[in-house]
Structures are given as C-alpha cells and as structure tokens.
Chain A
Amino acid sequence: MPSILKRTIFFFLLICLWELLFRIRMWPEYILPSPVSVCKTLIYGFQNKTFVIGIVTSMRRIAIGYGISIIIGVLLGLLIGRIRIFEETLGSLVSGLQALPTICWLPLALLWFGLNDKTIIFLVIMGAVLSITIATDVGVKSVPALYIRAAKTMGARGWKLYLEVIIPAALPHIITGMKQGWSFAWRSLMAGELLIVCLGLGHLLMIGRELNDMSQVIAVMIVIVIIGILVDRLFFVKAEKRIRERWGLVKN
C-alpha cells in the first residue's frame, strides 16, 4: 500500500474518532467542538478575511525577523568559524545562550521595545539567529582546505575568498541551520503573538480563548501547523536536497 494512502486512512480514522468523541457528549461543545464546526470556522475565517489578515501579519513579522537573523547569523558564524579570538569569546557566548529558551527574552524585550511589533521581531531573531550562527560556524570549519588552496592559487583574497568560496562551500551546513532556525523562529513568533496582543495568528488563538470559541482555537492551530509544514517541505527540504546533490554530498 502506498504511504500516501496509509496516511490518508490514518487521518480519516483520527477525524472519525474525534467525531465519535463529540457524538457521545462526554464533554460539552465549548471544550470539544466537532470537526464539522472547526471546518466551518476555518472557511468562515478565510471568507471574512480575519485569518488572511492574521497570516499576512504573522508572515510579515517572521520575514523581517528571520531575514535579519540570517544576516546576523551568517556574519557571526563566519567570524567564529574563521577567527580564533571570536571562537574563544563569542563562540562560548553563543553556545551558552542556546540553553536559554527564546521566550525568556520576552521580559527584556518588553522593557527595551514595549508592547509592539519590535518585541515580537526581536523574539523571532533570537529564536533563529543562534541556530544559523552555529551551523555557519560548523560549515565554515568543514570547508575542504583544498577549495581554499585552489582559490588562493587563482588569486582569491580577503572578502572575495569569503564571498566566492567559503560561504558557498559552507552552504549545505548553512541551509540546515536555516531550516532549524526557521522552526525555532516560527515557535518564537507564536509565543510572542500569544503574549503580546497585536493581530497575527497567535492573537487569533487568544481571541478564540477569550470568546470561549474552541472551534476557532483549533482552526487557527491547524492553520499554524499547515504553514509550518508548507514552508519546511516546499522550501527547506527541497533546497537542502538540491544543495546536497549539487555539492556531491549525496551519492545517487
């Protein structure tokens, strides 16, 4: 049996079980809504644009935050990976900070930026930047010495060596770090939006809670899962696979 069929049957049975639990009325409807009402809320949410606005707001925040964290992460990773003094100082700070859950930055961010977008973007940056930094560092350290020697004999020096050889050679590692960074950034974004009420998908979740509208909560959760999976599968998994193939890291 093809795996897609198995998966379809599994999810169908899961929804049937859910519907069954709803039908036997073990819990009241405001605790466990039926799959049908969740589905209706989903459609309604897209029709009256509330979900669309939520998605757009959230995606804008993550685009800004994640973009900034790629720039900072790659730069920091290059410094740590290539320059001894930065490895010994900054490197230990980065690996130390990794032990800190991103949401722990929230109190500090609130004091610095206040209750607004900047705080959420800051959380997104802090979520993604460390993964990207560490992956770039590892990538830079594992660039084959042969590439650098070859590039040097062809006249690559200074920043051109970084731009033309070291960064592209480290790309398979960097993309893996970016993939991990994306999932951390997505989590941080949701955590931030839940706590700071200003539009976004996290905010829609909180509205659902406040209105005791469980079907909206579940509908928004489904949207969050789907966006997370889509970005991961449609972009990162494909990009990673292509890069690994091109770089000759996969034997066909």
Chain B
Amino acid sequence: MISESAGIENLTDLHQDITLNNNLQISDGENASFPKLRIRHVSKSFHSENGKTYVLEDINLDIKQGEFVCIVGPSGCGKTTLLNIVAGLEKADCGEVLANGNPVNGAGTDRVVIFQEAALFPWLNVIKNVEFGLKLKGMNRTQRKTTALEYLKMVHLSKFQSAHIHELSGGMKQRVALARALAMNPEMLLMDEPFSALDAQTRWILHFELQSIWLKTKKTIMFVTHNIREAVCLADRILILSTTPGKIKKEFIVDLPRPRDDNDVNVAEYSTRIMKILKTEIDKVVKCEMDADSCVECDIKCTSEESAKTDIGGGI
C-alpha cells in the first residue's frame, strides 16, 4: 500500500508515460503468476540514544519475474537495509520475505548481491573470481572456466581474464563483480548502489552495459540507488522510500524505450518530476543534519563573501 499521498498534488497530470499506481493493491492471489520476490510487512528498527528508531516500517512489495526495480531514497532511509534483508544478510524484526515462494532465511545463491565496492577477492585473478561461486557449487574445472569466460565476454573483459584485481579500474572491478554474480545464474540480482563510487563517464557506460545484459538475460533485478537519474535510466519501476521511518512513499512505472541514455530528454524530465517528490524527504534529512537556526543558502552566501575578502587581502 502506498500510505503517503498527502503533499503531492499535481501528480495526476504528470507525463502520461508515468503511471502512478496510487491504487496499487497488495492482496494475495491477485497476481496470476506468483511474484519472484514478495516482501510482506517488513519492519526493522535499531536502538539509539533517543530510543527506538525505525529504519523500515511495514514494507510491502512484489517484484515480478524479469522486472527491473529501483529503490530510491535519501541517504539513511534504509534502502540498503531492505536489500540486505532480501539478501538474507540481515534479519527483519517482523514480516516475511519470500523469494520464489520460499521464505528467506539467510543468504542464498539464488539472490546474489553486488555491493557498492566490488568485493572482489584480491588473492584470485579476474577469471578465478568469476569462478568462485561456481567452484563452491561443485562445478568441474573446465566447465566453470568456460562459464566464467562466457560471462567475462558479456562484460567485455575476457582480455583481462588473468589480470590481478589491483590492476583494474573501479569500473572494470564492478564489471567483474557483475560477471561473477551473473555466472552464478541467480534467480535475482540485488544491486546495492553498485555504480555510486564510479565517475560519471564510467557510470554512463555501465548503465548501457547493464541494460543490454538485462535485456539479454531477463534477470529480476532489485537495484538500490540514491541517484534518481540512474533509477529512471535503468528501471521498469521505481519505488521512492521515505526516511525515518523508511516507508514506500511512491511508485512509478517508467516505460521509456530501451536502451535509455542518462542524458536523454525524457529521462531528464522524469527525473526532475521524481526529484520534486523526493525533495521533501531530502529537506527532512538536511534539517536533521544541520543546526536549527541555519540554512544551506546563507552558508553558501557567507563562504563566497569571505573568500572574496581574503582574495583582496591576499592581493595587498
């Protein structure tokens, strides 16, 4: 259920491609095919000095087979926590997560995670890293080498198969991580801000690569990001998470043609609209992080004036 719709008035006259699912019903048995991932009433809190803080509160979400879903929210809204719960790396306080109909209880090879940092193992070379999961599955040497090479080709890195990890650039590392995850042939990919540490050009290239891989493999992807443009560029469906407590605030369907470009006019337009909705959440975060009597705008003014003064002083 989308619980918060107050404060966002002009959504109905959005671009017609954005279908706002205000009446998204979450009731069992409505979908003909059982969703790949089903999250029901998941809540998570942690104890801090001010008492109990809810990171996630009553999250309900279905992801269909082959769907690319992005979860967007300001930093600290619990989107990574949600992904970790789905991955089985963290436990929810209550609620349940069903992956392929089976309750999630710990990490599993059906849900491979790609982290913000590539998490490649430096003691193995590139192809051995891709083979890692296959080896654990018990695949034989030649078979896993062929499989690994196939996925390295998919991310255009077969040339670097025997390179060491410390020799790779950030973008190459993430591509190896992607190949490693895909080689496992998981039911779904869980991506936790995988491109946020990369420079803009690399990210732009990887957006294309990820889209083409997704079109080829039709994997179910849950992708967490704080970058709205990235979400619009990649996702079929975008979920906006509010902050403290983390709740699903809005949901958008993006049906622009693929492959999409970050700099495409339509992508930009969609992003601006979503940004407006997210702005109230970002303001909330900013307020929490700053003194009560200050504002961002006056800070910027003060600093620019001060630097002007020192410039003159330096000149004399």
**A interface list, Cβ under 8 A from B:** 146-147, 149-156, 160, 164-165, 168-169, 171, 245-248
A247 and B122 in contact, given A149-B89, A153-B107 (Cβ under 8 angstroms): yes
Number of A-B contacts (CB under 8 A): 64
Q: What is the CA–CA distance of A116 and B181 in the complex, to the nearest angstrom?
A: 56
The listed residue (A152, A156, A168, A246) touching B164 by CB distance below 8 A is A246
Taking a contact as CB atoms under 8 Å apart, the answer to whether B123 and A154 are in contact is: no
Given contact pairs A152-B89, A153-B89, A147 touches B119 in the complex (Cβ within 8 A): yes
Contact residue among A146, A147, A160, A246 (Cβ-Cβ distance under 8 Å from B136): A160
Query: Which residues in B have some Cβ–Cβ distance to A below 8 Å?
Result: 87-89, 106-109, 111-113, 115, 117, 119, 121-123, 132-133, 135-137, 164-166, 180, 184, 190
Question: Quick check: B89 and A164 within 8 Å, CB to CB?
Answer: no
Residue in A149, A155, A168 whose Cβ sees the most chain B Cβ within 10 Å? A155
Closest B residue to A167 using CB positions:
B123
Asked whether, in the complex, the Cβ of B121 is within 8 Å of the Cβ of A169, the reply is yes
| CB pair B87 A153 closer than 8 Å | yes
Given A152-B89, A154-B109; A147-B133 close (CB under 8 Å) = no
> What's the least CB distance linking A145 to chain B, in Å?
10
A15 CA / B279 CA spacing, docked (Å) = 79
Contacting residues, chain A, for B132 (C-beta < 8 A): 151, 154, 164
CB-CB nearest in chain A for B116: A146
11 more CB-based (< 8 A) A-B contacts, given A147-B121, A152-B106: A146-B115, A149-B115, A151-B132, A152-B107, A153-B88, A153-B107, A153-B113, A155-B107, A155-B133, A169-B123, A248-B166
Residue pair B184, A154 in contact (C-beta under 8 Å) = yes
Alpha-carbon gap, A246 to B135, bound state (A): 22
Contact present for B119 and A150 (CB under 8 Å): yes
Choose from B109, B123, B135, B184 the contact partner of A168 (Cβ within 8 Å).
Answer: B123
Q: Which residues of B sit under 8 angstroms from A247, Cβ to Cβ?
A: 122-123, 166
**Contact (A149, B164) CB under 8 Å given A154-B132, A155-B133:** no
Measured CA separation A149–B117 after assembly (Å): 12
Main secondary structure of the interface of A (DSSP, over half): helix
Residues of B within 8 A of A245 (CB): 166
Residue of A nearest to B87 (CB): A153
Is the CB–CB distance between B165 and A248 below 8 Å?
Answer: yes
Check A165–B121 contact: CB distance below 8 A: yes
- Set of chain A residues within 8 Å of B133, measured between Cβ atoms: 154-155
Q: Which residues of B contact A153 (CB under 8 A)?
A: 87-89, 107-109, 111-113, 190
Some 24 contacts from A to B, beta carbons below 8 A apart, are A146-B117, A146-B119, A147-B119, A149-B107, A149-B119, A150-B119, A151-B132, A152-B89, A152-B106, A153-B88, A153-B112, A153-B190, A154-B132, A155-B184, A160-B136, A164-B135, A164-B136, A169-B123, A171-B123, A246-B122, A246-B165, A247-B123, A248-B165, A248-B166
Bound Cα distance A52, B124 (Å): 40
CA distance A153 to B86 in the complex (A): 11
Cα A150 to Cα B184 in complex, Å, equals: 12
Q: Which of A146, A153, A168 has the most CB of B within 10 A?
A: A153
| Candidate in B88, B112, B136, B164 with the most chain A CB atoms within 10 angstroms | B136
Contacts of B190 in A (CB 8 A): 153
Are A156 and B111 also in contact (CB < 8 A) when A150-B119, A168-B123, A246-B166 are?
Answer: no
Shortest CB-to-CB span from A10 to chain B, Å, is 37
The answer for the CA separation of A153 and B107 in the assembled complex, in Å, is: 5
Q: Residues of A contacting B112 with CB < 8 Å?
A: 153-154
CA distance A154 to B109 in the complex (A): 5
